[in-house]
Structure 1
Amino acid sequence: MKITFLGQGFESESKKSVGNTIIKLFKENKFSSFTGISAFASEAGVVGLSECIASGAEFYKTLNLIVGIDQEGTSKKALKEINDLGINSYIFYQKESPIFHPKIYLFEGESDTTIIVGSSNLTARGFFGNVESSLMVEFKNDNAEGIKLLKEIKDYYSTLFDFTDPNLFKISPEVINQFVSEGIVPTKKVWKKKHKKNTSNKKPKEENDLEIPKRPTVKIPSNFKGRYKSNKTVSKLITELEIDNKFEFENEENNQVLWQSGGLTERDLNIPKGANTNPTGSMLFKKGTLKGIDQRHHFRDAVFQTLDWKFDTTAGKTHLERAIAQIRFVIKGIDYGIFPITITHNPRTDTASYRQKNSMTQLSWGETKNLIAQDELIGKTATLYKDVTVADAFTLIIE
């Protein structure tokens, strides 16, 4: 079991903020379920979370969210954004005086579990800018201490985790409007007015001025500033925020080197500079450092043999075989997560390329174009690994 402190807002970088961490976790294919419980939610926080959810749509089969609405902490607009996510979502509300104040973000998979518990609400500032502290607990699902901790959390909040609590209200346009009409949930305008922090530079009227030193603040990524600001992918967010995400294999002995390139070229990296050279969006699997192989067949018949290969149905391309490989990209030590990468093989033996013994297999960079199109990667080496204990689990490391 691994326990990590997530601090943010107390200094200007906060690379271990809850927001940065959640962005990374949503790219992990080892999780299939997410449950978030937050005292408050903001429009910007939910919009940013929607990008994370979209990035993990292929892996996450269960998405749950419970938010509180006490003290007008969650606006009507935030609830509407939650409803638009199309996930299993609820409001928790009780009339009694105790306010609903937990913040729990739970990621569960077949073999792994990660829990974040702390002070960060599902808001842009709660995820990035506020001074917050949380603990992240990571463990394998056969770890006794981890199992015990998860059971204690789920037992204590049992009626939240099984959604049977009488004070849970399934989020819908009708339910949102009812809480607004009751004066419990504020409109966006009222919410913004109430939650605007006084940052005025006007001096107090008192005789003795209160001197408050200026302090650097944390940059909030554009995705977490509202729907109409920007639409970056989670991978771009990781780059933009320079998330400290140093990669290490969990079990290095399980990862076998399948291929290693020579020095990467501008064309390989989708950044050709010649006037007559266009970006191809792909890279051929050339022999690289491998010895004694026939690069025309090796990658289709050995490296990627177990993928689900199908012939293209597009006119003029029906001779091409294509398959999708789930590949983790690690560039300069930073783990950017797993991407669905198209591998294409040309099985024809009557072409000039085949006669010249060139490679007939290539990968399409797809979503990772912006990650690999960097001048500083020219001449670097790409190494492809496969975890021999997991079906079709590939890692591409460029360094």
Structure 2
Amino acid sequence: MASKEFILQGFTARTHGDAIRELFEVADIQRVVLSVAFISDSGVHQIEPRLKPYAKVLTAYGGIRNDISSHQGLVRLFGLGGTLYAVDTGARSVVFHPKLYLVRGAKVARLVIGSANLTLGGLNNNIEAGLLIEFDLSDVDDKKVVAAIEKELDVLPAEYPDHILKVTKSSQLDEWLAAGRLVDEMALPPPRPSSRGSGTGAGDSVPRIKLKVQPLRRPLRKAKAAGKKQPGAKLAKAPAPIAPGVDLELVWESTPLTRRDLNIPDGANTNKTGSINLDKGLLPEDVDHRHYFRDDVFTALAWSARTAAVDEAYAKFQLVLKGISYGEFDLAIRHTTSTTSRTYLQHNAMFRLSWGATAAYVAHDDLIGRTLALYRDNADPTKFVLEID
């Protein structure tokens, strides 16, 4: 008879990632089957070491055309060498949504089924619910259930040949990315604000929920330089975007924000800096943050010398706090150019963003410990989004 364990990820320390990794502890593994709605690179990365040794017996189904499954995620999963099917319903209003992870051994099978997708959120960061079930294959009823799961999925490619698409070469994934059926993880916009906030957000004091799981962060990649300009040069008019804000690229993400970052003084004698350092944050190890922002992220702006050692520019930033947009602001950014100062030689931050008119919006205790994400609008690289979540 099957044994069952309920998993309530987030509200307990038990994660779906841990449970899925435990599936592979069964002896003599003969079949591995995955079915999920959404696939991301960081999600596959979480269980890749367990999947790789069993690629020859792996069959995976993942939804596409859903604005979440990514090119990077499917490339990583396809690269393991198993059998991969992309499920395209042909409609945005119909989503392939079954989420299960099955590992069958010679005598025992284990199944995780519930709400967890093959994403970093699904396996670790989100609040998710699921069941870990262990089947005794010597039990007739247990064996029937496992066989039914495999059979129901195995017949899908033949029954829906226009929608259950076998991936046979990586160029298919490239074509689906170009066609918009997969997304580029590094060009994702922040969650679209469901509403527009009024005032400075002081009335929204709901803190970030404290879960019993340590959140993980997805890796970043270096942004490409956008139209480098000489200091003081006039900025050419950017092409009109077809859909403003659609093509946003994540170019930087902070570590947990501090009181100093958010311009919140510790006491009456503490001076407000009025700005935040854009430092290493979560950038890849090989990216030199001392030059990155001036040379790659903000190159399309019209820069001028504020002092002999500081260049200054202004840009438009949309401010999104906890999923609510508070509008667009003109903010100053400054880059210290010295390469011989102690600050530079110690690899400290050389770039600052002035909070300006947004200072009253961000100086709230409930934002401490959250992260700041910086997005660039690739349709107009003079526009950016600041999201704290």
Give the TM-score normalised by structure 2: 0.49
Give the TM-score normalised by structure 1: 0.48
